[in-house]
Structure 1
Amino acid sequence: MVLLELENIGYQIAGQTVLQQINLQVATQDYITITGPSGSGKSTLLRIIAGLLTRTSGQLLFAGKEWADYDPILYRRQVSYAVQQPQLFGTTVADNLRFPFQIRQQAFDSAQATAALTSVNLPADYLNKPVNDLSGGERQRVAILRNLLFPPQVLLLDEISTGLDDENKQILHREIRRMNQEKNVTILAVTHDNTEIKDANRLVKIVAGKMEVDQ
């Protein structure tokens, strides 16, 4: 089943063409790795798919319906976006893991939250840990959990492993793979990491705003 369909997507800003004629079909449970030189438009493409930027041209379909026809809040619950520099808020880890429950007007499930922490090698007592005391890798793990406590249909990853050590990369990749394989979460991941590129199930390359490779 085609879950996402991009037809001739283009994006311009201040007279400059950032993306042009991007065509891509994404099936349910796909894991697509997106690579290419810095400044080629990869992150811009993810932000368009996430609904954070409005394309200049083309059509973006999600589950067969034009993106603009969705309620933006409901759409972003199903198409979740994670960035390289995680933005944690509040005082503690619990404040961040409570947020997905709050926006759905549900009671916070501490057991679900602690199980999620365990899945990325963080102890249960980290629920009460101040976010300012977390390492960079721990912050990224908490940020990813915030996206995955209620698994979206699509998870967009924008260079989330950049700057992390091998251990943190492996922990993140293991959990993301698990969500892809066990929860049918469709993944689109921008990366410059050679190992991730080598291990890609399906590789897309963007150069100077154009998609060169889809294999």
Structure 2
Amino acid sequence: MFELKNVRVDGILQIEQLTIPENQFTCILGPSGSGKSTLLRLLNDLSSPDEGEISFKNKPVSEIDPLQLRRNVVMVSQAPVIFDGSIEDNLQIGLSFSGKEEAEIPEMESILKLFMLDKNLSDEAEHLSGGEKQRLSWARAMLLDPEVFLLDEPTSALDEDTASTVLTRFYDYTKKNSKTVIMITHSKELAELVAENTIDMSQYSIEGGVRRWMM
């Protein structure tokens, strides 16, 4: 799905070659400051490397319209973006930005259930807890039905049981619908639960102050 060759971001990471497979659940593990979030931003064309090439489905990311790329590759950040209005408003707004038709009520209610959000669509989003806002942002991304999900610590605000349940349900959805997932997590337990491919940053050597790994 993605291939990186001779990619360098000064002072953060250097990748000689990295291939991220299609239709698999890839987990990225590693200490803070090891370039995990930088990697996701590169894949979403939110940041550009100082050197090297990143390809998406064998086409250089630099040659793909950023808006078109982000319709196919959707990022869910660790700090969720929540808009003014109701839960329904927050679910629909992503579809609106992408030029897609509005979701039907049963579909939105079903996705809330999947993410263990026992709320009404009319409830105000600003009154949700941090963990609930995180799941709402994740649910909004899922409604967009992208090819690729980029998840930056999507369960960081959840207790262990809720995180395991939600992640297992999401994993089942991705397998059923042939999705590609690239997820940052600090939890080795969650990675063991869902990962089909793992990038362990703690195994990467440091050369000349630049973090380096090879696959």
User: Do both proteins adopt the same fold according to a TM-score greater than 0.5, normalized to the shorter chain?
Assistant: yes
Amino acid at match of 2:53: Q
What is the identity percentage for the equivalent residue pairs of Structure 1 and Structure 2? Answer: 28
Amino acid at match of 1:126: N
Once the two structures are TM-superposed, the CA of residue 90 in structure 1 deviates from its matched residue by 1.7
2:212 paired residue number: 210
2:66 paired residue number: 72
Is structure 2 residue 154 aligned with structure 1 residue 156?
Answer: no
Question: 1:108-129: per-residue Cα shift (whole Å, max 9, x none)?
Answer: 2223222211222234x52111
Change (3 A) 1:155 1:106: closer
Once the two structures are TM-superposed, the CA of residue 196 in structure 1 deviates from its matched residue by 2.0
Question: 1:120-149: per-residue Cα shift (whole Å, max 9, x none)?
Answer: 2234x5211111221222111111011110
Paired residues in the alignment total 206
Question: 1:151-199: per-residue Cα shift (whole Å, max 9, x none)?
Answer: 2111111112123212330233023202320111111111111202334
Once the two structures are TM-superposed, the CA of residue 21 in structure 1 deviates from its matched residue by 2.2
Please list, as runs of the form range in 1=range in 2, the aligned pairs for 1:47-126 lying within 5 A after superposition. 47-109=41-103, 110-123=105-118, 126=120
1:27 paired residue number: 21
Amino acid at match of 1:121: M
Once the two structures are TM-superposed, the CA of residue 55 in structure 1 deviates from its matched residue by 0.9
Q: Distance in 1 between matches of 2:192 and 2:171?
A: 15
2:6 paired residue number: 8
Amino acid at match of 2:182: L
Question: 1:4-51: per-residue Cα shift (whole Å, max 9, x none)?
Answer: 111121112xxxx21112521122211111111110111111111111
Which consecutive residues of structure 2, in runs of 5 or more, have no partner in the other structure? none
Asked if structure 2 preserves the Cα contact closer than 8 Å seen for 1:101 and 1:108, the reply is yes
- Give the structure-2-normalised TM-score: 0.88
Q: Distance in 1 between matches of 2:99 and 2:152?
A: 28
Change (3 A) 1:95 1:71: same
Which consecutive residues of structure 1, in runs of 5 or more, have no partner in the other structure? none
Asked if structure 2 preserves the Cα contact closer than 8 Å seen for 1:78 and 1:152, the reply is yes
Moved over 6 A (4+): none
Change (3 A) 1:22 1:97: farther
SS of match in other structure, 2:12: strand
Amino acid at match of 1:119: L
Amino acid at match of 1:202: N
